[in-house]
Amino acid sequence: MKSLDRIFDNRRVMKSAQGSPSATIAGTPSLSSLFDLVSDEMSLVEDWLKSNLIDDNTFVEELLKQIFHAGGKRIRPLIVLLSSKATARETGKLSRLHIILAVLTELIHTASLVHDDVIDKASVRRGQETINKKWNDRIAVLMGDLLFAQASICLARIMNPVVVGIYGQVLGDLCSGEIKQMRQQFQTKVDWDAYIEKSVGKTASLFSAGSHSGAILNGCSNETIQNLKDYGLNLGICFQIVDDLLDITGSQKETGKAVGSDLRNGVVTAPAMFILEAGDANSARLKELIDTRAICEDAGAEEALAIIRNNGGVEKTVDLARSYADKAIESLKDIKDSSYKDGLATLANYVMTRTT
Amino acid sequence: MKSLDRIFDNRRVMKSAQGSPSATIAGTPSLSSLFDLVSDEMSLVEDWLKSNLIDDNTFVEELLKQIFHAGGKRIRPLIVLLSSKATARETGKLSRLHIILAVLTELIHTASLVHDDVIDKASVRRGQETINKKWNDRIAVLMGDLLFAQASICLARIMNPVVVGIYGQVLGDLCSGEIKQMRQQFQTKVDWDAYIEKSVGKTASLFSAGSHSGAILNGCSNETIQNLKDYGLNLGICFQIVDDLLDITGSQKETGKAVGSDLRNGVVTAPAMFILEAGDANSARLKELIDTRAICEDAGAEEALAIIRNNGGVEKTVDLARSYADKAIESLKDIKDSSYKDGLATLANYVMTRTT
């Protein structure tokens, strides 16, 4: 699945080309060209992540370094920086507060990954051993807490009560999104509202906070702030749907986790939901595999993956993800033109093509 | 160990009586009389903890209710309310912000307990099954995160950057305190600075935040704020030392955990440290029990407890705790007289007598 867009869609590229400055880009959008737009600021963010972390304890410092040197795509800081630059009074000019905002957004994301790995008993992340695998669950719980704490300190430094409120809500959404997912495991009743709501909690809430908080700091109009909030929300939902898709179509080498691992854990997402709601023989068989927990074993998982792949589960999910990418791009239409605005639109197209 | 003070100490009651308004109280100080001083405000705090919690998910709501209905001593909100009332412009009169401050302080404490129970694989807390035992580690990690998130939202509502910074630091201190403790397990080299530092991180940092943030909101002088900060710091260190003592002297029925459970986990605290630093046969034997991990087994733990109890480990630890209680009371001397100030001093004496 090198590029979902290229494989599945001329129609969709046509559709998203309407009224969007960057949707005319053909093929795979380049992420590196987006990072070029914010290169100075991103290196400040990297410096901060790798050095400005609380703690005088050498062991903790080592762990933190390990976490941030392991990399990560830095999509969330990119969203913060692009949207902040697109709405800066003097276009492209940011303050120290915007850098802190980008750092804090990545810290929250990283903290939640460290805890997710404990929750999922994951052993590999970003090509490296997870903290829980290399050390133990105790260290991983505390390191996640420490990263959340570091994020709280960043939030304090921003000194904007509205932004503090937004990020506080994100923290709540992240947890309740995960708990909702946990409670929905092995459920075969299709509930799209619950699925989108869970995706907002797990992913889109933070994307949205990152996409519109910079505009708040820039003193933008409520309309601009709302547009960027919608952009992040839709982009985040799209991102989560693509994540769910990669569980079905991705390669272990690229995603770093076994194909179908969500499915094996009973996490029923869009690709399976499209099959389940069809009401045919495939629906019945997939439901049976889930209900009997056969899906947790190799043979059952393989059969479920084949049913999903061979009956339009993937294509329908791509369409669903694309509809949110389009909504994200559409949300940008009243933002004043700039290379940064174009960058945000390109990012939405990139999210559709990502393989990791 | 119904009352450490009564058993071990006429001398100390004499000592602490110098210059302190409440230290003349004989016997066990009454905690309920302190709660009477803040009864209206404390019921607002309770209401908030039990109902104003984020989440529209019934399951999560149930879990949160279970956590807060299980009780807890509410020592930290008591400190916030007493110190806020003692320094209010119109003595005793608080605003909504002080209530939020008290709620947030308890939320952070509760969140850290939920995660500690995961870390320690504890099965009972406050006489009830822990979340990790009743459900699982995954739910407990997320519930702890949710409580921290709720605390962040409260912090945002206070809208005071200095207070936000203080509590952000507390969150970091809590994690690094626990990690330090983990790294010091089974260490027999006596390092009092490291021990006190760890106690500050684990406990006193939050006590101190709670004791002086109300004065910041009240617009008090820097001197008053510093005095209350010192009060909380010393009281918190005292509280942690008594906690460590209860591991040696407490009854399982009262503390809700097996006697010597810290010791069995290789957590070497003041009572053991006093024996280890003596440089005699008892030191050597205790060191051997720890080094060989014999202390993790029933026979070894029993022998270690006996060595500590029979050779002054308990008495010396009581003295150490008392010295911090005295420092806490001493820190109050320049605070203007009121029943709330007396309450804070009484609280320091209560901490010395607590059995749970």
DSSP code of A73? -
Tokens representing B301 are 């733990």
Least Cα separation, residue B58 to chain A (angstroms):
10
b/e per residue A250-275 (b: at least 16 CB within 10 A): beeeebebebbebbbbbbbbbbbbbb
Q: Look at B171 and A342; give whichever has higher pLDDT.
A: A342
Mutate to test the interface with A, among B118, B176, B191 (most CBs of A within 10 A): B176
Can you point out the beta strands (E) in B65-162? 124-125, 128-129
Please name the amino acid found at residue B322: R
Number of domains chain A contains? 1
**Residue A242: closest CA among A83, A346, A349:** A349
How confident is the prediction along chain B (356 residues), in pLDDT tens digits per residue? 333 333 233 223 333 333 333 433 445 677 889 999 999 999 999 988 877 666 566 777 778 877 887 778 899 999 999 999 999 988 888 999 999 999 999 999 999 999 988 888 888 877 778 888 888 888 889 889 888 888 887 887 787 889 988 988 898 888 888 888 888 899 999 999 999 999 999 999 999 999 999 999 999 999 999 999 999 999 999 999 999 999 999 776 666 667 888 899 999 999 999 999 999 999 999 999 999 999 999 999 999 999 999 999 999 999 999 999 999 999 999 999 999 999 999 999 999 987 66
Which residues of chain B neighbour A169 with C-beta distances below 8 Å?
A: 54, 153
Half-sphere exposure of B197 (CA within 13 A, CB side): 12
Q: Look at A140 and B2; give whichever has higher pLDDT.
A: A140
Residue B23 has a pLDDT of 37
| B178 to chain A: closest CA residue | A142
Residue A52 has a pLDDT of 60
Residue A171 has a pLDDT of 86
Which residues of chain B neighbour A168 with C-beta distances below 8 Å?
A: 149, 152-153, 155-156
Report which secondary-structure segment, H or E, holds A129. strand A128-129
φ, ψ for residue B268 (rounded to 5)? -90, 115
Share of chain A above pLDDT 90, in %: 57
Report which secondary-structure segment, H or E, holds B172. helix B161-183
pLDDT in tens, A168-211: 889 888 888 888 888 889 999 999 999 999 999 999 999 999 99
Give the integer Cα–Cα distance in Å for A46 and A332. 27
Residue A78 has a pLDDT of 98
Contact yes or no for A12/A322 (Cβ under 8 A): yes
Give the integer Cα–Cα distance in Å for B148 and B174. 12
- Sole residue written with tokens 């019921």: B43
The CATH number of whichever domain residue A169 belongs to comes to 1.10.600.10
pLDDT confidence of A22, banded at 50, 70, 90? very low
Domain that holds residue A302: 4-353
Tokens representing A146 are 């420490």
Question: Using the beta-carbon criterion (under 8 Å), do A55 and B145 form an inter-chain contact?
Answer: no
Q: Does A178 touch chain B (CB under 8 A)?
A: yes
Q: Look at A8 and B349; give whichever has higher pLDDT.
A: B349
φ, ψ for residue A124 (rounded to 5)? -130, 135
Question: Using the beta-carbon criterion (under 8 Å), do A179 and B60 form an inter-chain contact?
Answer: yes
- Chain A residues 260-279 with a CB less than 8 Å from chain B: none
Q: Mean of the pLDDT values across residues A64-80?
A: 86
Which residues of chain B neighbour A137 with C-beta distances below 8 Å?
A: 118-119, 137
Q: Look at B134 and A58; give whichever has higher pLDDT.
A: B134
Q: Does B194 touch chain A (CB under 8 A)?
A: no
Q: Does B185 touch chain A (CB under 8 A)?
A: no
Residue B134 has a pLDDT of 86
| Sequence-ordered alpha helix ranges (H) in chain A | 4-8, 11-16, 31-37, 39-51, 58-69, 75-86, 96-119, 131-134, 137-158, 161-183, 192-199, 205-217, 222-249, 252-255, 261-264, 270-276, 281-291, 298-310, 313-331, 339-353
b/e per residue A195-208 (b: at least 16 CB within 10 A): bbbbbbbbbbbbbb
Report which secondary-structure segment, H or E, holds B321. helix B313-331
Is pLDDT at A13 greater than 60 in this prediction?
no
Tokens representing A118 are 């404990």
Question: A125: helix, coil or strand?
Answer: strand
Question: Using the beta-carbon criterion (under 8 Å), do A57 and B150 form an inter-chain contact?
Answer: no
Residue A26 has a pLDDT of 47
DSSP code of B29? P
Contact yes or no for B49/B106 (Cβ under 8 A): yes
Q: Does B184 touch chain A (CB under 8 A)?
A: no
* pTM score: 0.81
Which residues of chain B neighbour A148 with C-beta distances below 8 Å?
A: 145, 148, 171
Give the integer Cα–Cα distance in Å for A79 and A343. 9
Hey, how many other C-beta atoms are within 10 angstroms of the C-beta on B261? 16
* Helix axes A339-353 and A313-331, enclosed angle (nearest 10): 170
| B153 to chain A: closest CA residue | A168
Question: Using the beta-carbon criterion (under 8 Å), do B179 and A57 form an inter-chain contact?
Answer: yes
φ, ψ for residue B272 (rounded to 5)? -75, -35
Q: Look at A165 and B191; give whichever has higher pLDDT.
A: B191
Beta-carbon contacts of residue A66 (< 8 Å; ≥ 6 apart): A128, A131
Q: Does A109 touch chain B (CB under 8 A)?
A: no
Which residues of chain B neighbour A56 with C-beta distances below 8 Å?
A: 176
DSSP string for residues in B216-252: HHTT--HHHHHHHHHHHHHHHHHHHHHHHHHHHH--H
**Residue A216: closest CA among A170, A151, A153, A164:** A164
Q: Look at A329 and A144; give whichever has higher pLDDT.
A: A329
pLDDT in tens, A288-309: 999 999 999 999 999 999 999 9
